[in-house]
């Protein structure tokens, strides 16, 4: 074959695979372009991702508050009862996690699955999470992941139980307390919280509680108050019309616990913005942080100054509770006030924390850590202060909401405490209380005396 004939043939042999490759490349490019066009844009998935992250970060900050409650209570109880308090705090958090999965979350957020519309959510419906490796096309991009929402809301449930623990310290049996926690975290808290946050009847009425001054803090305070009524005061607390001081074991731990709670509260209030997908959302989270911090600071200083005026010396325990009362007070409405508004709302909360303590003692209600003044009384103040700044709210509606939740939680808790007292007893015997619950209930001490033997 002549050379002139071979050249075209060779060129054709070379060109054929190249043409095939070009066609494949063109097809691949078209497929890639179709995939890119089908994939959601960041504008579509960004709010979902950011709100999910807000829930996760806020959730672990609120979880850190469990450590704050444990340290605060360990510092404010006597050394012979510290191990028991620490055990209760770990156990109640664990129980809350299980019960909130088993029944609480869907009872609190029933969606269209109300058992009694607006009043009672979906009973005995365990929480289900998204499948592993969820694709963007399959996600509900209008909110956040169910897993992050569940995790965040669980922390509020556990916080409610933590409030009860401190009030009843130094004289309650471990297991009856934990049985009460099962009922509180699985049923009582989710039901009352569903009335507002689950779209129930209080929400429809216009009640406003941004992050839980009533739904979490006052509710925990009412449950603690019911328990204190049934349990009675510690031996020797009230004698001949006087209140006998019973100093805590470690004020350094109590102070550490307060700072941990202060830190965790940024997740508590900030995460309750429930959205971080826009500039406005994330700006509001920053505003919430600033107001939360201001209320804590003013609550602490108001309590410190008032304790100096009343008792001629500043009282560290009242200072700590003043900071916490300021935080509780601003929790019902941490977004709307100015910084000055947060300052005076928190300051009133701090004053309440100081004034309410002797009032409780006059009624012989023994609250070991001051949880009732901080969470219940300051929670009432914070709830009633909402209309000063939040639009479309009223003092009447706020009072009705607080009263409804207070009556429900107090009465149901009282019934549970009375049943537990009748069936198994809720208070340790006199000898165990005098010697300390650590040895009687736990068989170990937090501060063993190494000089013995």
Q: What is the mean pLDDT of residues 190-209?
A: 96
- In the predicted model, is pLDDT for residue 41 greater than 90? no
Which pLDDT belongs to residue 28? 52
Question: What pLDDT is recorded for position 129?
Answer: 85
Mean pLDDT to the nearest integer, 11-21: 52
Q: Please tell me the distance from the alpha carbon of residue 290 to that of residue 347, in angstroms, as a whole number.
A: 15
pLDDT mean over 304-328: 96
Quick: pLDDT tens for 261-300: 999 999 999 999 988 888 999 999 999 999 999 999 999 9
Query: In degrees rounded to 5, what are phi and psi of residue 59?
Result: -65, -45
Digit-coded pLDDT (tens) for 413-437: 999 999 999 999 999 999 999 999 9
Segment (H or E) for 242:
strand 242-243
pLDDT at 74 over 60: yes
DSSP per-residue string spanning 74-123: HHHS-GGGHHHHHHHHHHHHHHHHHHIIIIIHHHH--TT--SBTTTB--S
Output 91 or 28, whichever has higher pLDDT.
91
Range from 88-92, 118-122, 433-437 that averages highest in pLDDT: 88-92
Kindly report the backbone phi and psi dihedral angles of residue 250, in degrees, each rounded to the nearest multiple of 5, phi listed first: -160, 95
Predicted confidence at residue 278, as pLDDT, reads: 87
The token duo for 5 is 């004939």
Residue % of the chain over a pLDDT of 90: 74
- Cα 417 to Cα 189, 227, 397, 433: the distances in Å are 15, 6, 30, 19
Question: Would you say residue 401 has pLDDT above 60?
Answer: yes
CATH of domain 44-128+149-442: 1.10.3430.10
What local confidence, expressed as pLDDT, does residue 453 receive? 37
* Structure confidence at residue 8 as a pLDDT band (50, 70, 90): low
């Amino acid at each position: 074959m002549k050379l002139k004939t071979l050249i075209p043939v060779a060129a054709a042999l070379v060109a054929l695979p190249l043409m095939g490759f070009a066609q494949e490349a063109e097809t691949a490019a078209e497929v890639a372009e179709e995939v890119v066009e089908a994939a959601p844009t960041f504008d579509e998935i960004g709010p979902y991702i950011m709100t999910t992250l807000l829930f996760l970060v806020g959730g672990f900050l609120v979880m850190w508050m469990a450590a704050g409650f444990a340290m605060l209570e360990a510092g404010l109880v006597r050394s012979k009862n510290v191990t028991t308090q620490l055990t209760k705090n770990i156990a109640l958090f664990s129980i809350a996690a299980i019960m909130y999965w088993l029944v609480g979350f869907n009872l609190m957020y029933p969606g269209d699955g109300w058992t009694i519309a607006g009043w009672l959510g979906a009973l005995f419906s365990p929480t289900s999470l998204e499948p592993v490796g969820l694709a963007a096309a399959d996600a509900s991009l209008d909110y956040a992941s169910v897993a992050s929402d569940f995790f965040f809301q669980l922390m509020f449930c556990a916080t409610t139980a933590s409030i009860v623990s401190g009030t009843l310290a130094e004289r309650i049996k471990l297991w009856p307390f934990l049985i009460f926690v099962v009922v509180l975290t699985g049923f009582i808290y989710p039901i009352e919280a569903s009335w507002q946050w689950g779209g129930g009847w209080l929400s429809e009425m216009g009640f406003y509680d941004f992050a839980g001054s009533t739904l979490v803090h006052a509710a925990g305070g009412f449950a603690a108050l019911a328990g204190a009524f049934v349990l009675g005061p510690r031996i020797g607390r009230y004698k001949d019309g006087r209140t006998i001081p019973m100093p805590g074991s470690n004020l350094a731990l109590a102070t550490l616990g307060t700072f941990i709670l202060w830190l965790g509260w940024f997740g508590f209030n900030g995460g309750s913005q429930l959205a971080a997908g826009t500039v406005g959302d994330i700006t509001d989270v920053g505003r919430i942080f600033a107001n939360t911090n201001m209320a804590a600071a003013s609550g602490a200083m108001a309590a410190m100054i008032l304790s100096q005026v009343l008792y001629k010396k500043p009282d560290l325990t009242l200072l700590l509770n003043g900071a916490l009362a300021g935080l509780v007070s601003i929790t019902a409405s941490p977004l709307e006030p100015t910084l000055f508004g947060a300052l005076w709302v928190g300051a009133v909360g701090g004053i309440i924390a100081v004034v309410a303590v002797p009032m409780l003692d006059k009624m012989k209600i023994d609250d070991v850590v001051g949880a009732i003044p901080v969470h219940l009384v300051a929670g009432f103040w914070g709830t009633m202060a909402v209309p000063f700044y939040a639009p479309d709210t009223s003092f009447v509606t706020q009072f009705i909401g607080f009263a409804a939740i207070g009556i429900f939680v107090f009465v149901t808790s009282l019934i549970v405490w009375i049943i537990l007292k009748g069936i198994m007893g809720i208070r340790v015997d006199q000898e165990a209380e005098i010697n300390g619950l650590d040895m009687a209930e736990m068989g170990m001490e937090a501060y063993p005396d190494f000089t013995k033997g």
